[in-house]
Amino acid sequence: MRIYPAIDIRGGRCVRLKQGDFSRATEFFDDPADAARAWIAAGASYLHVVDLDGAKGGAGVNGGAVARIAALRAPVQTGGGVRTLSDIEDRLALGVSRVIIGTAAVRDPAFVSEAVRLFGDKIAVGVDARDGFVATHGWLKTSGVRAVTFCQDMARRGVSAIIYTDISRDGMMSGMNAEATAEIIRACPGVGVVASGGVSSMDDLAAAERIGAAGAIIGRALFDGAIDLAEAVRVYEGGILPEPAKFRPEPAKFWPESAKFRQEIPEEIRFGADGLIPAVAADAETNEVLMLAYMNAESLALTLETGFAHYYSRSRRSLWKKGETSGHTQRVRAVRYDCDGDAILLAVEQTGAACHTGSRSCFFRSIGGDAAPPTTAALADLYRVVSDRRGNPSDGSYTSALFSGGIDRILKKVGEEAAETIIAAKNRDKREVVYEVADLLYHLTVMLAEQGVTWGDIAGELAGRFGKKKAEYRKY
C-alpha cells in the first residue's frame, strides 16, 4: 500500500485545514518544498500536493511551489483548480506524475473521459464526500450526487485511480472512515482507491490496507507527530526482512483441472538466505510485465495448488493472495523459472489493476527512452476499453455508437478504413499509413469484440501457422 504524505498549499505556504474550512488553517512551512524535502528524507516514495487556492478559485495559483516540489526526486500527484485540458497540460509541464480532477469531474463527467483518453494513467479523480455526497469547489459546496454512484461512473469512464476523502474526518485526527472507503472500493473493482481524511494512526493505516486501499494520504498526523512517516513507509511499502523460511513443501497438490503442474517443485529452484525468491508477474497474453513480488516455498506451493498467485509480504511477514481484498486477482496460466533457478516468472490473467496505485502495471515510470508499448499490449488494452464500452455504453462515445448501430455499421467502417489504408500505401506516405492502419485496427477491434473474438485468438492462429505451408493451414 502506497503512503502519500500530503502537502496543502495556500498563499504559497504549506498549511493544513480542519474539515476543509479555510478559516481553520494552520501554517507549518513557509516553503512547501521544505515539507517535501522532509518527507522524502523520511522515505516518501510519492507526494500528494493540493493547490487550495486553485481548488477554491477554479484556477491554478501556486504553480511555482508545485514546480519546486516536482523538481525533487519523488513523483507527485497534484490537484486543485483543474478545470480544462490546458490545466492538465500545464500541471504535467511542471513535472508532476499525476493530475487530480475534482470539481470539474462532477460538473462535466465527459471531460474526465476525454482526459483519460488523452493522458491515461496520469489522470486521477478526487472525490471529496460530506455525509455521502460529493463536495466541490474546495469543499465549499455539496452536490446532490452520491459519492458511490459518482465513483462507479468514473470507473466506467476508465479512471484508474480515485482519491476518496471524507471531509468530516479531514484534519480532525479522529480516524479514517473505513466503512465508507470500503464501500467505494467494493463498488469500483479495478480502480485503485486511495484513502484520505482523518488518517491519524498506524491503526488507521492497517485498516486502510485491510479493506484493500491502494494507498493512504497522511496529513496533519505527520505534522503533529502522531505517525512516524519512516515507520509507515517501512511497514506498508516494504523493507522489513522476514524470518528465514523453514517450510519446504512435500510434492505439491497441483491444480485438479490441469495436468500442467502435476510435478514436484523442481529442486533447481533456489530460495535466498531469507527464504524468498523474486517473482515477476507478466500478462499471459501480451507478455507485459505487471509487477515484482516475493515468494517463499509455501506461497509457491499455494500458487501451484490453487491456480491463483500467492506471495509473501516482507512487511507483514505473512502469506497473501493477490487481490484477496481488492478483487484484482491473478489467475496463473504458467509458472517458469530462470536459468539460475533464482527467479520465478508467472504468466497470469490479471483482473483489474496489478499496481496498488491503480495502474495496470507497476512499471509505469520511466528513467529514459521513448519506446512504444509492445504491439500486443497496445491491442489488448484497446480491446479491453472497447469491450467495456460495449458492456457499459457511454453518452458521446464513438465506440458505443458503433455498437448501437449494429454489425452493418461496424463492417461499413471496417471497409472504409481498409480502403483508406490502401490509398495511403499507394501514396507511399509513411505517416499516413501509420494513421490509417491505426484507424483500421481500431475498427477491426470493435468488429472482433462484437463477434466475441479476441486478439489473443488471432495471435494463436498466427502462431500455429509458423513453419507451415499455406495448404497446411487448418481453415476452421
Residue 339 near residue 141 (C-beta atoms within 8 A) = no
Q: What is the dihedral of CA 67, 68, 72, 75, to 10 degrees?
A: -30
Active-site residue identified among 8, 53, 87, 204: 8
Q: What is the dihedral of CA 108, 110, 111, 114, to 10 degrees?
A: 180
Long-range contacts of 326-330 (CB under 8 A, 24+ apart): 326/185, 326/189, 326/212, 326/214, 326/352, 327/189, 327/190, 327/212, 327/351, 327/352, 328/189, 328/190, 328/352, 328/353, 328/354, 330/281, 330/290, 330/354
Asked if 21 is an active-site residue, the reply is no
Give the C-alpha separation, 334 to 279, whole Å. Answer: 13
Give the C-alpha separation, 345 to 347, whole Å. Answer: 7
Asked if 8 is an active-site residue, the reply is yes
Residue 278 near residue 343 (C-beta atoms within 8 A) = yes
Give the C-alpha separation, 104 to 111, whole Å. Answer: 7
Query: And the C-alpha cell for 438?
Result: 491505426
Active-site residue identified among 51, 53, 87, 128: 128
Point out the residues that are catalytic.
8, 128
